[in-house]
Structure 1
C-alpha cells in the first residue's frame, strides 16, 4: 500500500462526514491512511471476514451486496468518491456483514483497525464521531424503507435512477452501468417488474436503455414523477 497524496487528501476533505470532524481527528486519520487499488469486479472483503479497518473511496465506485446460499446477489448500495464505509464492525468487533466489490476500477483510502483502536482508547470521545458516520447510514436506510412503503413501484425506480445517476454517471453525461437485476434488488421489485417500468420510461423518452447501461434523458420529468 502507498501513502495517500495531497490530491487524494483533498478528495477525502470533500466528504460530508470527514469535513465535519475536528482537526486532530482529521490529521490522525490521514496520517495513518494508506492507498490501495482494485480492478473492476475484484473483492475488497466478504461477509464473515474479520474487521481490518475502515475505508473511503478516492476514485471509482464500490458495490455493497449480500449473496444467498444459492449464489444470488442482492445489491444494497453503491459507494463513490469521498464516502466512508466499513465502520459497523468497529463497534461490535464482529465479522463483516456484507460483501464489497469494485464496481469499477477503484482507489481506496484505508485506515487500519489497530490505529483506530489506539485512537479510541486514548480519546474515547471520538466514538461519537464514528457513531455519526453510522447514523448517516441508518438515516439512508430509514428513507429507503419509507420509500418502499409509500412510493409506487414506478416512483421507486425513478428515484433510484436519479440517485444512481448522481453517484455513478460518467463525468461527460448521464450514463451509468446498471443491470436490471441490480435495480430490482435496490427497489424491492422482481426483475420482470423492473424491466417493464424501464421500458415504459424509455418509451416516454425519460431514459435510454443499453446493454447493462441507463442514460437519463429527462431528469426534471423523473424528479416530477417521484414527487407526484
Structure 2
C-alpha cells in the first residue's frame, strides 16, 4: 500500500474534501524507523500523528519504575498518536516500532487546522477514540476476570485475525513471536505461558513452527477464551 492511499483511507478524515487530503499529503513525510525505536515515549507531548505503511508498532503502558504492559499492535493502514492533538504529554502510553517500519508523520498543527475548518474530522476522531476506549475496557475486563489460558487464547485469536494467512493446515500467524512476548501480552510468566502453549499443542489447537504459530482449530482456540462455570 502506498503513501497517499494510507492517508486517503484514514477513517479520521472521512467526509473531508479533496483539498484537505491534498494538504495532508503535502505536509506528510514518510520515515523509516528501525526495530525497537520509539515514536513517542512517556512524558513526551508529541508533534505528529502517525500512519503505518509497513511494519508493526506496539502500544505499551509504562510506569516511571520501568514496568511495561503491552496493550495492542498496529500494522499497515493503522493510525495512532491522536493524543497529541490535546497538547498534553503521553502520560502512560508509549509507541515502539517492532520491526523495521515505514511510517507516515503528519504534524499535529496541520491536522488541528484542518479539523477547525472541517469539524467532521473531530467527529470521526471521536468515533475512533470511542472504539479504542471500548477495546481498552474489554482488555481490562480480561486482565481482571479471566485466567491466563483464556487471556493467552484471546491474544492468539487477535493475532490470527489481524496477521493470519489461510493455509491448507490452518491459519498461520505471519508474525514472529517469542513466548516471552506472549507472556508480556497476556500478563503471565514465560514458564506458565510455555506450559499452556504445550497444552494447546497437545490438544491439536495449534503448533509452533520456528517463532510463528499455526492455528489448526480456530473454534477450539475461541472456546478457550470463554469462562466456564465449574
TM-score bracket, normalised by the shorter chain, equals 0.7 to 0.9
RMSD: 2.9
Number of the residue aligned with 1:146: 141
Q: Equivalent of 1:65, from 53, 60, 64?
A: 60
Return the match for 1:40 from 35, 44, 48.
Answer: 35
Counterparts of 2:203 and 2:9 in 1: how far apart (Å)? 36
Separation (CA, whole Å) in 1 of partners of 2:62 and 2:55:
22
Match of residue 111, structure 2, among 113, 116, 129: 116
Counterpart for residue 17 of structure 2: 23
Pair 31,135 (structure 1): closer, same or farther in 2 beyond 3 Å: farther
4+ residue runs of structure 1 moved beyond 6 angstroms? Answer: none
Matched, 1:217 2:216: yes
Structure 1 counterpart SS, 2:131: helix
Query: 2:187 — aligned with what?
Result: 188
TM-score (norm 1): 0.80
Distance 1:26 1:135, change over 3 A: farther
Q: CA deviation at 1:30?
A: 3.2
The alignment's TM-score, normalised by the length of structure 2, stands at 0.80
Provide Cα deviations, 1:90-146, integer angstroms capped at 9, x if missing partner: 12x111242222111211111102212322344445322222221121111122123
| Residue 55 of structure 1: how far off its partner (Å) | 0.6
Give structure 2 stretches of 5+ with no counterpart.
none
Structure 2 vs 1, CA of residues 22 and 35 (structure 1 numbering), >3 Å: closer, same or farther? Answer: same
Question: 1: distance between equivalents of 2:17 and 2:162?
Answer: 28
- Return the alpha-carbon distance in structure 2 between the equivalents of residues 102 and 149 of structure 1: 28
Q: Are the equivalent residues in 1 in contact too, given 2:7–2:51 (CA < 8 A)?
A: yes
68, 76, 82: which one pairs with 2:77? Answer: 82
Q: CA deviation at 1:152?
A: 3.8
* Deviates further, 143-152 or 28-37: 143-152
1:204 to 2:198 alignment? no
- d(CA) in 1 for partners of 2:165 and 2:67? 28
- Shift in alpha-carbon separation, 1:129–1:26, aligned structure 2, 3 A: farther
Question: Does the CA-based 8 Å contact 1:12-1:58 persist in structure 2?
Answer: no
Query: How far off is 1:86 after superposition?
Result: 0.6
